Chains A and B, each alone.
Chain A
Amino acid sequence: MRRNRYSYFLKEGVNSIFTHGFMSFASVSIIVACLIIMGSFTLLTINVQSMIKKWESENQMLAFVDEAFTGDQAKELEKELKAIPNVADAKFVSKDEALKSYLSQFGDNDLFKGIDSSVLRHRYIVYLKEIGKMAESKKNLEAVKGIVKVNAHLEISQGFVTITRIVSTVSIIIIVILLVISMFIMSNTIKLTTFDRREEIAIMKMVGATNAFIRWPFVFEGLILGFVGALIAFLLQWAIYYFLVMEINKSSTMKLIETVPFGQLALPLLGIFVATGLIVGAGGSLTVIRKYLNV
């Protein structure tokens, strides 16, 4: 009996989608448009944050070893350096390697011609886990016996921290605003479709239908429309992202931008789209028909 009723509600919901074809099309289109706008901005934010993270991880400090240390003694510091909190990695560079690196960069410059590696120091390239704690890490590195000097671009680290904060805050604000606007547009579209059927609801009430009986077909209808809208939006988003990534990779200047593969984002994005579609579809229907149920 109960199963019969739910299959009736489902059948009514599906029928209603087709009998009110234009309004169903409008609802799905609005859901698709809003989800794509929101999704595109979310993907953009994720990519910007991923790039900042990558740049952060590439940012390094140079820790110079005391001139009195032999190569072997200098190498022994590696363990100690890696044990410092916030140090992700410490890569040893000998005097000879350092000279080679200089020559490869500035070999044409007369200043470096005939230079001997003994004028240079052994050094470590130190990578940090969190760039925001660069100043503190610099102090810890300088405290290690055998390290005489640490070169760190503190102003760059501060810049990254500021940029990350700004990007995160602005993204959250914009995504929330877009979400609210999308909800508003979607619930208004659903309101229009329901307004079209207030007479039907009044007739249902008059023949003795309970509020639950009236509500369920609308809920099923909203769920189906929301789900279909979410799936279409996801597929379109995928296509747009794929196309953009392809264009970026084709372009010689934009090639430097490293994009996050869609595969990594697909499942969470699909989840968010489907959840938003279902909530907006069913929630919108429920909120709006409540008004017409007080007959």
Chain B
Amino acid sequence: MVRMVNVCKAYENGTKALKGITAEIKDGEFVFLVGPSGSGKSTIIKLLTGEIAPTLGSIIVNGYDLETIKPAQMPFLRRTLGVVFQDFRLIDKKNVYDNVAFAMHAVGASSRDIKRRVPYVLELVGLDTKTRRKPNELSGGEQQRVAIARALVNNPQLIIADEPTGNLDPARSLEIMTLLERINKLGTTVLVVTHEKELVNRFSKRVIAIDNGKLISDGMDGYYNYET
């Protein structure tokens, strides 16, 4: 669950990225966060993952209050999240299996659990036949599916996908979005940050639109209706 109340963020250079955002995402929801470039979407992601702290307002993510969270607790907050990036951020020198397994090693999972869970997740994202390939031997869509598998492997409560289709063609984008929808149906909350109007409109999901650091619409109609 995510709750943001009157969240403001001003950077050191004076840029006011967020100006009083209030929103809530309940467990099990699938939400699109949309808005033009520079609207504050990335700032929201950074706030939710604890990379930066808000200037004002309160944020609660999966039970962690980001206003009062201690640095030592940060890894434990992040274990409740699965983050997918536009540029995949895979480790080039590790193969598909190890890229996913290392996220489990990082949280101290046992070898037995890793051997059981990783093949399951790779099968879920359709990469069970390419476990020994290195990222550079895969297509963009496949690399993104590895990133999703890595985000999913620790069974997070919330998956945050930051422009997950930004580097993909329309067919691969649709595949990825369908995969995220499938994961959501299995019970994981999904927040997808995007500015791809057609893709958003194709899925009937909740859409939160922001512009210039302000929330301008929050609709359940599943339509990206804000013109920039």
Contact = CB atoms under 8 A, between A and B. Distances in A.
* Band of interface residues on A: 10 to 19
B110 A4 contact: yes
Nearest to B107: A208
Contacts of B154: 207-208
Contacts of A199: 89
Question: Chain B contact residues: over half helix, strand or loop, or mixed?
Answer: mixed
Given A1-B110, A8-B105, A208-B79, A203 B93 contact: no
Nearest to A2: B108
Interface string B150-163: 10001000000000
A203 B89 contact: yes
A213 B93 contact: no
Given A5-B108, A8-B105, A207 B78 contact: yes
Contact of A204 (B49, B93, B106, B110): B106
A206 interface: yes
B12 interface: no
Nearest to A8: B105
Given A199-B89, A295-B51, A207 B110 contact: no
A75 B174 CA distance: 111
Contacts of A19: 93
Nearest to B82: A207
Contacts of A239: none
Interface of B: 49, 51, 75-79, 81, 83, 89, 91, 93, 102-103, 105-108, 110-111, 150, 154
Contacts of B76: 208
Interface string A1-17: 10011001000000000
User: Ordered nearest first, which 7 A-B pairs have the shortest CB separation?
Assistant: A208-B79, A209-B106, A208-B78, A207-B103, A19-B93, A208-B75, A210-B75
A15 B206 CA distance: 45
Contacts of B75: 205, 208-210
A206 B83 contact: yes
Contacts of B110: 1, 4
B78 A206 contact: yes
Contact of A206 (B49, B93, B107, B111): B49
- Which of A19, A205, A206, A295 has the most chain B CB atoms inside 10 A of its CB? A206
A200 interface: yes
Nearest to A207: B103
Contacts of A207: 78-79, 83, 102-103, 106-107, 150, 154
Contacts of B107: 207-209
A277 to B, nearest CB: 25
B44 to A, nearest CB: 16
Residue from B78, B105, B154 whose CB has the most chain A CB atoms within 10 Å = B105
Contacts of B81: 208
Contacts of A200: 91
B88 to A, nearest CB: 10
B106 A4 contact: no
Contacts of B106: 204, 207-209, 213
Interface string A187-227: 00000000000011011111111100100000000000000
A257 B76 CA distance: 67
Nearest to B89: A203
